[in-house]
Chains A and B, each alone.
Chain A
Amino acid sequence: MADHEDPRLQDEGKFDEIRRRVAEVAKDAPPLARIALEAMVRKHNPDLKGTADSAGRVGMRSGKVSELTVIVDLKPGGAQRLQRIFDLTKGNMDGAQRVSTLHDMRFVFIDHNTRILFATAYDGDWDSYISDFATKIPELMDLLFQNVEGWPGISSPTVKDFIAEHQINAAGWFVANPQVTVVDVRRMQRTEHALDTFFDAMTGRDDLDPKTAAAMKTLTDAISTPEAVDY
């Protein structure tokens, strides 16, 4: 939420402000109206439908996918220690994979490596599984976050408050496939492989009974045509 005013606008006179706002609205009006109209008249495919919900205590959610953005101070040398961990993992992080609700995690050092921006897209409410992290992967959590000033430790009763206090609500949040969780995607990948194997076994079969043949045709028709995204 834009709860802090832009300091560059502080010296703007009342008349200037009105003139600026009128100009802004006039300029933005045609595309804004088009976006709003499209949103109203389009009948969205329910599988691709996004929402603007709350992710619980802080953060936004679209469909099943939520966002979490945190900016925190790093301890002296914390950026170097974290960089070593990231260099070691080379894009893989087994603990994060096992969690199975995290779509991604982004770590960005800012302000001359004195602070870190942490951003993640994940399934569900932000704090549903935090207690599970505390007993299942406490070492990974503390390894990553002990470099953060004030980190109370994943087992601390105050860890949720610490995260919530440093979280910044996103102003906007868009997800391409808002109704699909990390777990769903894995199942779909698995299903894809299984279907491939199944179709290999069925290729050229002209001895199927009519009922099975009809079911096969329905299945083939449903999944074999390349389609543009009907959003």
Chain B
Amino acid sequence: MSGLARFKARFRRERVRLDLGDIQAMILRSRPEPYVGAHAMVHIDDAAGGRDLIARLAEHIPSARDWAEDRSAWTGVAISYDGLQALGVPGGSLASFPLPFQQGMAARAEQLHDYGIDAPENWDKAFSPGTCHIALSIYAQDQNALDTALDLAMSELKRSAGVTLIGVHPFGADEDAKNPFGFRDSISQPTVAGSGVDAQPGQERAIAAGEFILGENSETGVPLGTPQPSELGDNGSYVVLRKFVSRVGAFNDYLRSQADDAEGQHQLGAKMFGRWRSGAPLVLSPDHDDEELGADPQRNNNFDFKQDPKGLMCPHASHMRRLNPRDSPLTILTDVNIHRIIRRSSTYGPKWTPEVTAADDAQEDRGLYFIFISARAFDTIEFMQQEWINGGNFVDLGIESDPIVGLHDDTNNSFTIPAEPARRKLRGVTTFNRMAGGEYMFMPSLTALRWIGAQGWAK
């Protein structure tokens, strides 16, 4: 049973408290499994032409009304600050957006710790500041459905004047839904209060809708800052888009250098990720992989860290435990419920095999679009980059960084595996994911798309 089918069985229309008909489907709708899709990026040269495109695209963007039902393909659309400006949105509205969004991702490199090889000057050209105005993401259950949706989007683009297609990047994974390193991903997703499904037994409570939907009450009890006017801001959200080139060969080689046999290498990889390749979490299966557990959405996320306060099963420094510490004891006063994200990441490139070596990494053909949705997306990614990814202070590990997505160098390259009688501290971890570019985006409601398309501010 896929993640989607799991929601279908739990959805209760009478529990819905959100204006689902106005919220883009992509916000609540998980990736299908298997999945294919494409990201497209558009630049606006002429405001009227851009608005015309937005107005016509709005007709093809499904709402979240039936987000738990089957659907063969869906498209989401998001707009950058430069894009809103290029569309002619008035200054008063532009100023009502959060400061990091106004500045754009490249200008936030310092807050994001995008230094060295991750620095904006090394990004793909498509992500040069001011280039990405509109991002379209299509998710589909098979290639046919994707082709149909993509043809439709491209035909609307061709009918437009004053817009330029910057590029299209296909992605996809088979029914194992594995990331470039061969680990099942996107397993844990927050439950959004009022969306029509309750949190599953054994899982954390539903998170206040305002953490994900602008205009709704957040975990503070009041809405977060919402763009004005309400036609523009309400029922929208924010998207963080970060493209990574994965150095799968360097990762494989590292495992080989630290463990003698294939089993030991799998085990070390699992310690670094926090889950086995199948998706089975270490705290439910500490010693070996469990394919059945990994593939079972009823069980593969049904755990907390109560039984593992010392990290003997799942290291505190592992990727999964860092980015969702659940009930782990943290050294710093933290509200984990305001750092949850709806993940819509997509893997591209060939499927993982153990044979890939560092020499293959030069092709840079494997990687992942790290995409997530949150009403405080920019605060959250900057918090994560500073506190949970590129440091270990919050779990009493000094400067130690995330072994999978952290930035490593000669002085910061360790990975600590708690053990008895003494912890095992690995050295020589390198940067296994290079940042290739990204942008801060706004995902408007359907009302807002029509408002922008019709130049609603002029009326």
Q: Residues on A close to B: CB < 8 A?
A: 46, 54, 56-57, 64, 98-101, 123-125, 127-129, 131-138, 155, 157-158, 161, 181, 183-184, 186-187
| B257 interface residue per 8 A CB criterion | no
B338 touches which of A131, A137, A161 (Cβ 8 Å): A131
Contact of A132 with B335 in the complex, beta carbons under 8 Å: yes
Cβ-defined contact, B332 with A157, below 8 A: no
The digit string for B101-119, where 1 denotes a CB below 8 A from any CB of A, is 0000000001100000000
23 cross-chain CB contacts under 8 A:
A54-B110, A98-B333, A100-B331, A100-B333, A124-B387, A124-B393, A125-B111, A125-B382, A127-B379, A128-B383, A128-B387, A131-B338, A131-B376, A135-B219, A135-B220, A136-B333, A157-B223, A158-B225, A183-B393, A183-B396, A184-B398, A186-B331, A187-B396
A residues near B226, Cβ cutoff 8 Å: 157
Q: How far is the CA of A137 from the CA of B332 in the complex (A)?
A: 13
Evaluate whether A132 and B333 lie within 8 angstroms (CB atoms) in the complex, with A124-B386, A125-B386, A155-B221 already known.
yes
Is residue B166 within 8 Å, beta carbon to beta carbon, of the partner chain? no
A99 & B337 in contact (Cβ 8 Å cutoff) = no
Cα distance A181–B221 when bound, in Å?
Answer: 32
Residue of A nearest to B384 (CB): A128
Q: State whether A157 touches B225 (Cβ < 8 A).
A: yes
Q: Is the CB of B333 within 8 A of A131?
A: no
A125→B111 CA distance, assembly (Å): 8
Q: In the bound complex, do residue A132 and residue B386 qualify as a contact, i.e. CB atoms below 8 Å apart?
A: no
Taking CB atoms, residues of chain B closer than 8 Å to A101 are 332
Please give the distance in Å from B432's CB to the nearest CB on chain A.
24
Which residues of B are found within 8 Å of A161, using beta-carbon distances?
99
Q: Which residue of A lies closest to B394 (CB)?
A: A183
Contacts of A127 in B (CB 8 A): 379
Residue of A nearest to B98 (CB): A157
Given the interface pairs A131-B338, A155-B221, A184-B398, the reply to whether A137 lies near B333 with Cβ below 8 Å is yes
Q: Tell me which residues across on chain A come within 8 A of B155, comparing CB atoms.
A: none
Partner among B224, B332, B411 whose Cβ is within 8 Å of the Cβ of A129: B332
Q: Which residues of A contact B387 (CB under 8 A)?
A: 124, 128
Any A CB within 8 A of the CB of B363: no
Closest to B387 in A: A128
A residues less than 8 Å from B219 (CB atoms): 135
Q: Does B222 contact A (CB under 8 A)?
A: yes
Known A100-B331, A132-B334, A157-B224; further 20 A-B contacts with Cβ < 8 A: A46-B411, A54-B110, A57-B99, A98-B333, A100-B333, A101-B332, A123-B393, A124-B387, A128-B382, A128-B387, A131-B383, A132-B333, A136-B334, A137-B333, A138-B220, A157-B225, A158-B225, A183-B393, A183-B396, A187-B396
